[in-house]
Amino acid sequence: MAHEVKVPTLGESVTEATIGEWLKKPGDAVALDEPICSLETDKVAVEVPAPVAGILSAQLVAVGDTVEVGAAIAQIEATDGAAAPAPSPAPAAAAPAPSPAPAPAAIAKEAADDDAGDPQTLSPAVRRAVLEHGVDPSTIKGTGKDGRLTKEDVLAAAKAKKDGGAAAPAPSPAPAAADAGATGERTVERVKMTRLRQTIAKRLKSAQDNAALLTTFNDVDMTAVIEARNQYKDMFARKHGIKLGFMSFFAKAACLALKDVPSVNAQIEGDEILYHNFVDLSVAVSAPNGLVVPVVRSVDQMSFAEIELAIAEFGRKAKEGTLTMADMQGGTFTISNGGVFGSLMSTPIINPPQSAVLGLHRIEDRPVAVNGQVVIRPMMYLALSYDHRIIDGREAVTALKIMKEAIEDPMRMLIDL
């Protein structure tokens, strides 16, 4: 009996998605709840599980097609029991053994299709990269958590394969190398934007068009935070099982500022301003398909350890492509750390409908005047971009100054100053 596979409910206000990748092809055996394809929504990638165990008989849509919630995208011929699909891979795996000529181009696809039996599960982004570049994931050493493969691992392996094997496959490597060098061919690759990238572009442009954006800057002496971190990081890690980073300090400093200057934590809705008595902190995280902004809820009620653990978990999920819609929804204020990529200064764009975003940058030693003496201190530039429609310059400058003072004197965060 044929069963239809339908697009599941994707989250509040999300009505459609794009087929990002088929994880199973017609004729493949599938187990109950085994992912058969990956959908790209405006915010995250979502895997569609098989509703029954059986054989995938048809794909009703192609990669890149837009599908609505509830639409049929595939058909599965159900089997009598979950055990039926299991034996089929065994003969298929055994059959090629006597034959020494498997198709090299199929190695990556077979590896991705055999994912359920592999000790590590590949995320949608990693599977896509494996298929696109034709590499064997079993030969790549993963750098992710618990040795899991990341998209960067696959891209690095593909580059190494290309660089190291450019001459080997050709019977006459010398002429091939000469031709490549002599032609100096200029190429252009056309790649369709992912739904996530399209959404990022629309939201950022919307923020520029609809908000009165302005950025105020300050610099902060990181000496006190660095000294506190160096003094307590080992004890902190032993007690809480997580490293003490800088983000928890800035999250706490932001909470102090938002409490004293509530407009920075507010947003416009129609002709009204919504003031929040809580802080749901959006943290900009780099994911394989682009920048995502998961939300740490009620960060103003959390300890340093709880903040670090929450951010680390979001970072892991972003890297593996497992962030959910619930992880991304909401948020009253954003922190974006361009310093991890080496940025010295930037003007971050707010994350609508929020009204402000704090940009962090790299720490570098600079000469500064302290008590009439020129000394070298680890300094960082801070940037607060805000919507001037509801946040006045005085309020923005005051909020950023409170954050600066809290970082330069962390005791303020302990006694609520």
Annotated catalytic residue, options 65, 118, 388, 409: 388
Q: Is 392 a catalytic residue?
A: yes
List the beta bridge partners of residue 283.
335
Half-sphere exposure of 288 (CA within 13 A, CB side): 25
Q: Which of 82, 71, 89 is CA-nearest to residue 17? A: 71
CA-to-CA dists, residue 60 to 5, 74, 381, angstroms: 9, 5, 52
The DSSP result for 203-249, as a single string, is HHHHHHHHS-EEEEEEEEE-HHHHHHHHHHHHHHHHHHSS---SHHH
The DSSP result for 69-81, as a single string, is TT-EEEEEEE-SS
Q: H helices then E strands: how many in the chain? A: 12, 19
Q: How far is CA 161 from the centre of its chain?
A: 26
Q: Is 221 a catalytic residue?
A: no
Annotated catalytic residue, options 33, 118, 392, 409: 392
CA-to-CA dists, residue 220 to 225, 366, 368, 395, angstroms: 10, 11, 11, 18
Q: Active-site residue numbers?
A: 388, 392
